[in-house]
Amino acid sequence: MKYNTVVFIISFLFPSFLYANEPIDASFITKFEYGAMLYRNPRGIGCNKCHGKGDKTVTIAMYKDKKGITQSLKAPPISKLSYVSFMAKLKAKKNRSLVMPTYFLTDDEIKSIYHYVTNLNKK
């Protein structure tokens, strides 16, 4: 048998032979995909409903206060937050924020959402 024939047979039977020097991602979904899924629906309402793509301030609602002055409720941009600030806000007790829901996320879930938000606008 010629060398080319042997390589062809081996690569057909064992396709991983062709990619022996490349790292294999054995995960079911990537960290970015997992973060995207959580961002859209972490525990009920998704972060995207208030923060959009996370890169700019989003007006959530307009209302009139007791004096009849129009006010707005805004969600801040979150894609430029430090990880420490991001985690602190998501781990805050309900009484610390009357608007931001408490999601009871794990540290790994928060890391995945942070990875997604900080990389979303780079794609």
* Each residue's pLDDT tens digit, 40-64: 987 777 899 989 998 999 999 999 9
Query: Is residue 3 domain-resident?
Result: no
Query: Is residue 87 domain-resident?
Result: yes
Query: Is residue 40 domain-resident?
Result: yes
105 pLDDT above the threshold of 90: no
Q: Which residues touch 88 (CB under 8 Å, ≥6 apart)?
A: none
User: For residues 102 and 105, what is the distance between their CA atoms, to the nearest angstrom?
Assistant: 8
- Tally the residues of the chain: 123
Number of domains in the chain: 1
pLDDT attached to residue 59: 94
**C-alpha distance from residue 43 to each of 21, 71, 106, 110 (Å):** 40, 28, 12, 12
Q: At what angle do helices 107-120 and 31-40 cross, to 10 degrees?
A: 100
Say which residue, 16 or 101, is predicted with more confidence. 101
Query: Is residue 51 domain-resident?
Result: yes
Query: Is residue 60 domain-resident?
Result: yes
Task: List the domain range (segments joined by +) for residue 98.
Answer: 25-120
User: For residues 117 and 78, what is the distance between their CA atoms, to the nearest angstrom?
Assistant: 7
Query: Is residue 19 domain-resident?
Result: no
Beta strands of 1-123 (E only): which ranges? Answer: 58-64, 70-75
Say which residue, 28 or 65, is predicted with more confidence. 65
Query: Is residue 73 domain-resident?
Result: yes
What mean pLDDT is predicted for residues 13-25? 54
